[in-house]
Amino acid sequence: MEHVAQRAGVSLMTVSRALREPSLVAQPTRDRIQDAITELGYVGSAFAVQLASGRTRLVAVLLPDLRNPAFAVEMQGLAEGLGEGLELIVSGVRGSGTRHDQVARALLGYKPAALVIHGGRHSHEMRELLVRSNVPIVELGSLVARPINIAVGYSNRAAGRVATEHLLQRGYRTIGFVSQSRKDNSRADDRWLGFREALRAAGITPRPELELETSLGYERGAEALKELLCREPKIDAVFFTGDGWALGALFYCQRENISVPGRVAIMGFDDQELASQTVPSLTSIQVPRYRMGWEAGTLLRSQLDGKAPERKRIDLGFKLVHRQTT
C-alpha cells in the first residue's frame, strides 16, 4: 500500500481512504491512486484489514460431507442470501466427534462474521466454545430444540414419522428402514425415532432386523434392498432416509423385474430433482434446501447489519411428495 501511495504522490492514509470511502477523497487524487493500483497490480491484505478494523468478511461453514449435493444447494442458497462482500470458508468433516471440534476451532480462529453449522448435536465443550466465542452461530438443517443463536431447518423426527405414517396409511405393514450410522449421524437418528414412533402408534412392533445402516451411494441402496428382501421376504415397503439409496433400489428392481410398488414400495427422502423424473417416480420428503441456506443467509446479513434479533428458530417444514413408488 505504501508503494501505491508513493507512486500516486500521496500518503498511505489517503490510499486507504480511497479504497474504503472514495467519497472522502478528491476525484483527481482518486484517479491517480487507481492508476497506481492497476500499474502495480496491488491487492490489499484482507488479514491486515481485519486485524486493524476488527471487522470480518468471512462466513465460516462446517458441513458433514462436501460430496452431498444437498449441502451444495444449501451453500448456494447461503451464498446468495448473504449477498456480496462476504466470503465463504467451507470445511467438510467426515466422521464425527473430535475432528469436528478441531475444525470448528480452526474456523473460529478466523473470527468469522458468523459460523454456519449443518447437522445436529455438538459435544458439551463444543457448545461451550461456540457460546463463548461470541460469533453468531447458525445451526442449519435439523431444527435443534435450544438454538445457540439462530436455527433454521425442519424436524427430522417429524419428517421420519410422516413418511412412515404415509406408508402405513397406504396399507404397508412390514416396513424396512435404511439410514446412515445412527450413532454418527444425528439426522439419521432423528428420522429413525420418527419411524419407530409411527410404527408404535400403529400398534406394530418394531423389528430391528429390518433396520439397516449403510454408507452413501446408489449401489448401497440396491444392496440394502436385496439384503432386506432376503432377511424378510414378506417385506412390503422400505423407507430409505436418502433419495440416493431409494433410486439405487428402484433401478435394482427394474433390473430384477421386481414390481414397484406392487411387490415392494419405496420411499425416499430429500426429493432430489431426479425423484420426479424416474419411471415410476419416487415418493419422497421434500426439504427446502436452497431456502434453508437462503433464509440463514439473509437473516445473518440483517443481523450483521444490526437489524435482526439474536435468537431465532425458523421451522421451514417439509412436504411429503406422493408419487408412484408407494
The residues of the shown chain that bind DNA, judged by CB under 7 A, are 1-2, 10-14, 16-17, 19-20, 24-26, 29, 44-45, 48-49, 51-55
Helices (H), the chain: 2-8, 12-20, 27-40, 46-53, 69-82, 98-108, 124-133, 156-169, 186-201, 218-231, 243-256, 289-304
The C-alpha atoms of residue 64 and residue 71 are separated, in whole angstroms, by: 9
Supply the minimum distance, in Å, between the C-beta of residue 36 and its own copies. Answer: 14
Count of CB atoms situated within 10 Å of the CB of 33: 25
Residues 263-302 that bind its own copies (CB under 8 A): 273-274, 277-279
Q: Which does 53 bind (CB under 5 to 8 A by kind): its own copies, DNA, none?
A: DNA
**Residue 199 or residue 253: which is nearer to its own copies going by CB?**
253
Residues 70-99 that bind its own copies (CB under 8 A): 71-73, 75-76, 79, 87-92
Tell me: does residue 12 bind its own copies (CB under 8 A).
no
Place of cell 479504497: 19
Supply the minimum distance, in Å, between the C-beta of residue 4 and its own copies. Answer: 14
**Residue 1 or residue 316: which is nearer to DNA going by CB?**
1
How do beta strands 265-267 and 237-240 pair? parallel
The three three-digit cell numbers of residue 65, written as one number: 460431507
Supply the minimum distance, in Å, between the C-beta of residue 77 and its own copies. Answer: 9
Contact present, 121 and 186 (Cβ < 8 Å): yes
The three three-digit cell numbers of residue 136, written as one number: 453468531
Among 128, 200, 201, 315, binds its own copies (CB under 8 A): 128
Query: Running DSSP on this structure, what letter comes out for residue 110?
Result: T
Listed residue (239, 235, 231) closest to 196, CA to CA: 239
DSSP string, 63-74: ES-TT-HHHHHH
**Residue 10 or residue 237: which is nearer to DNA going by CB?**
10
Residues 148-187 that bind its own copies (CB under 8 A): none
Contact present, 296 and 261 (Cβ < 8 Å): no
Tell me: does residue 51 bind its own copies (CB under 8 A).
yes
Tell me, rounded to whole angstroms, the distance of Cα 250 from its chain centroid: 25
Q: Which does 126 bind (CB under 5 to 8 A by kind): its own copies, DNA, none?
A: none
The C-alpha atoms of residue 184 and residue 20 are separated, in whole angstroms, by: 46
Supply the minimum distance, in Å, between the C-beta of residue 180 and DNA. Answer: 37
For the stretch 7-15, contacts whose Cβ atoms lie closer than 8 Å and that sit 24 or more positions apart, written own/partner, are 7/36, 7/39, 7/40, 8/32, 8/33, 8/35, 8/36
Q: Which does 69 bind (CB under 5 to 8 A by kind): DNA, its own copies, none?
A: its own copies
Contact present, 306 and 299 (Cβ < 8 Å): no
Among 58, 140, 148, 198, binds its own copies (CB under 8 A): 58
Q: Taking contact as CB under 8 A, which single stretch among the options 49-57, 158-166, 262-270, 304-312 is the one that binds its own copies?
A: 49-57
**Residue 108 or residue 258: which is nearer to DNA going by CB?**
108
Supply the minimum distance, in Å, between the C-beta of residue 3 and DNA. Answer: 8
Three-class SS state of 89: strand
Site string for its own copies, 233-252 (x = CB under 8 A): --------------xx--xx
Q: Which does 321 bind (CB under 5 to 8 A by kind): DNA, its own copies, none?
A: none
Supply the minimum distance, in Å, between the C-beta of residue 50 and its own copies. Answer: 5
Using CB under 8 A as the criterion, which residues of the chain lie in contact with its own copies when the complex forms? 41, 43-51, 57-58, 65-69, 71-73, 75-76, 79, 87-92, 105-111, 128-129, 132-133, 217-219, 222, 247-248, 251-252, 254-255, 273-274, 277-279
